[in-house]
Structure 1
Amino acid sequence: MLTLLKVGHCFHPEAMVMQGHSWKSMQFPAYVGLIKHPTLGYVLFDTGYAKRFIQATQPFPERLYRSLTPMHLCDKEQLVTQLAFRGIDANEIKTIFISHFHADHIAGLMDFSQAEFICSRAALNAINDTSRFKGLLKGYLPKLLPNDFTRRCRFIEDSQPLNLSYHYAPFHLGYDLFNDGSMLAISLPGHAAGHFGLLLEHSQKTAFLIGDACWTQEAYTQGARPNKLAHIIMDDGQAYLNTLEKLSHLYARNKDIVLIPSHCKKTIEALTL
């Protein structure tokens, strides 16, 4: 079972994610996936924003991050509040899958003291080994990581690799996170180092949580591409475009797979009608 929760949003020019569009400010909601595993309990796909993002971006130069992508998070949208509304205590969250380490995906990690973290080894190396200024340019805020993060994490790459069926072409390799086929991590390179998505069954279809492999559904349905300026924050701009092409091919050939970008309001609204 998959539930999508909006945990804050930021604003950024529309033309940055869809080249040729207006430069007016566009809202980008931060969606989190709440997944109920049949035996392991609750799993989160990312955590969205948290109020500590404001604290982490108080000093200079981190304040530039907040200025370029102004964030809004009301009290009722905080992830722990939304979970409590559903009768779920933060300590019941035993696993958090991290698509990548940009602040709008990890700001809530500290709220889950009992959770194991699953991430890419390459992704963790990137946030740990990058200098403060270069890391900021790439969207990293290391202060958002719990002090015991390394002790509590395991790496996607250490999970069982599986060859995917032709239904998922042009994607051919997945990592079986729990050795039961319930959730498969798929590499989606380009946007950030070690960026991964997650395949799982949902409502008799396959949901593909693709993080920031694209920002809007127009990228894989209409061929919309980001402004070249957006490549500055990316790990590899050409790899990002290659991933978009693969997502477009997957969408065109298999409508039973629902692609879910982390920031696309249209996608979520269509799923919740």
Structure 2
Amino acid sequence: MEPGYFPKWMPFFHLAVDINVREDEGIGRKLHEQGIEPKDLKAVVLSHLHHDHGDGISDLKDAPIYVSKEHWDAYKSPVQATIEGAVPNQWPEGFVPKLLEPTGGPIGPFERSYPITSDGKVVAVDTPGHVPGHLGLIVFGDRATYFLAGDATYDQALLDQELTDGVNNNPYLAIESIKKIKELARQQPLVLLPAHDLDAARRLAELDFYKPTEL
């Protein structure tokens, strides 16, 4: 971790966070290895702006970056964003994300949606609880529906038991979001991909569908 990466006045980062990401492991370098440059991206949709989800945006400043309006309203103050777990001192200078509009209709148990692509195959849905305005991303593929859960849950086992993770702005909303994801999985073949789930890559590669447990 670079000295000064986290602000000195926020002790949580220094006491509780230990992240070792080399420069060659950053999102910009990884995209370049695949022949993709930030300017080639049509949209970067962030579930939320916590430091472990939003700090790569400095590598993607040539791409349009989207969050929900509810989330940006809660995080546009640099001081408040830092208190909540973001590191705005690492954002590009003058960073203001584009705001997604919930112009899409309901998808399963989700009352509204945010269209990302014109063909409707990529949409975002509200999954609040972990933070205000948290988004999940749904990709409708040919063989499965993929749900990128961000931090709506930390792993599939927690979600299946309808348990929240240890960091939640509103645990009651978090449980409601979890129940909606489970209901969507009952309605169609779903590959669940939480951001912190160590088994997510295997499930994606093997097309391992989530089969919800009835509690």
1:237 aligns with 2:177: no
Q: Which runs of 5+ in 1 are unaligned?
A: 1-50
- Name the structure 2 match of 1:271: 204
Find 2:124's aligned residue among 185, 190, 203.
Answer: 185
Which residues in structure 2 correspond to 1:154-193 (within 5 Å)? 154-157=98-101, 159-164=102-107, 168=108, 170-193=109-132
Per-residue Cα deviation, 1:12-56 (whole angstroms, up to 9, x for no partner): xxxxxxxxxxxxxxxxxxxxxxxxxxxxxxxxxxxxxxx66x643
Taking the TM superposition and a 5 Å limit, the aligned residue runs for 1:209-220 are 209-220=148-159
| Offset, 1:208 | 1.1
Deviation at 1:66, TM superposition (A): 4.0
The 2-side partners of 1:55 and 1:83 are apart by: 26
Superposed CA RMSD in Å reads 2.3
After superposition, the C-alpha distances for 1:142-192 in whole angstroms (9 at most, x for unaligned) are 213222322xx32112x522232xxx3x22321212333121110001111
The equivalent of 2:209 in structure 1 is none
Equivalent position of 1:29 in the other structure? none
Give the superposition deviation at 1:255.
5.3
Task: Check 1:78–1:203 CA distance in 2 against 1; reply closer, same or farther (3 A cut).
Answer: farther
Q: Which amino acid aligns with 1:156?
A: L
Q: Runs (4+) of structure 1 moved beyond 6 Å? A: none
Distance in 1 separating the partners of 2:205 and 2:149:
18
Offset at 1:260? 1.1
Q: Secondary structure at the match of 1:258?
A: strand
- CA-to-aligned-CA distance 1:188-241 (integer Å, 9 cap, x gap): 011111101111123521111111000011122234444xxx3xx432121112
Separation in structure 2 between the aligned mates of residue 179 and residue 213 of structure 1, nearest angstrom: 25
Amino acid at match of 2:67: C
- Per the alignment, residue 110 of structure 1 pairs with 58
Q: Which structure's relative contact order is higher, taking Cα pairs within 8 Å and 6+ residues apart? A: 1
Residues 80-91 of structure 1: pairs in structure 2 closer than 5 A: 80-91=28-39
Letter in 1 for 2:5: A
Unaligned runs of 5+ in 2: 207-215
Residue matched to 1:138: 84
- The 2-side partners of 1:68 and 1:103 are apart by 13
Alignment check: 8 A CA contact 2:191 2:204 kept: no
User: Where do residues 246-257 of structure 1 align in structure 2 (5 Å cutoff)?
Assistant: 246-251=180-185, 253-254=186-187, 256-257=189-190
CA distance in 2, matches of 1:250, 1:178: 20
* Partner residue, 1:56: 5
**The residue matched to 1:140 in structure 2 has which SS?**
coil
8 Å Cα contact 1:138/1:234 also seen in 2: no
Q: What is the letter of the counterpart of residue 109 of structure 1?
A: I
Say whether the 8 Å CA contact 1:120–1:195 is kept in structure 2: yes
- The percentage of counterpart residues that share the same residue type is 24
CA contact (8 A) 2:10 2:83 kept: no
Looking at structure 1, the residues matched to 18 and 113 of structure 2 have their Cα atoms a distance apart, in angstroms, of 35
| Aligned length in residues | 206
SS of the residue corresponding to residue 73 of structure 1 reads coil
Question: Where do 1:3-14 residues align within 5 Å?
Answer: none
Whether the 8 Å CA contact 1:200–1:206 is kept in 2: the answer is yes
Paired residue secondary structure (2:43): strand
Q: Structure 2: how far apart are the matches of 1:272 and 1:220?
A: 20
TM-score (norm 1): 0.67
Structure with the higher fraction of residues in strand conformation: 1
Offset of 1:125 from its aligned partner?
A: 1.5
Give the TM-score normalised by the residue count of structure 2: 0.84
Change in Cα spacing, 1:87 to 1:179, as seen in structure 2 (3 Å) is closer
1:262 is matched with which residue? 195
**Cα 1:149–1:178, aligned 2, differ >3 Å: closer, same or farther?**
farther
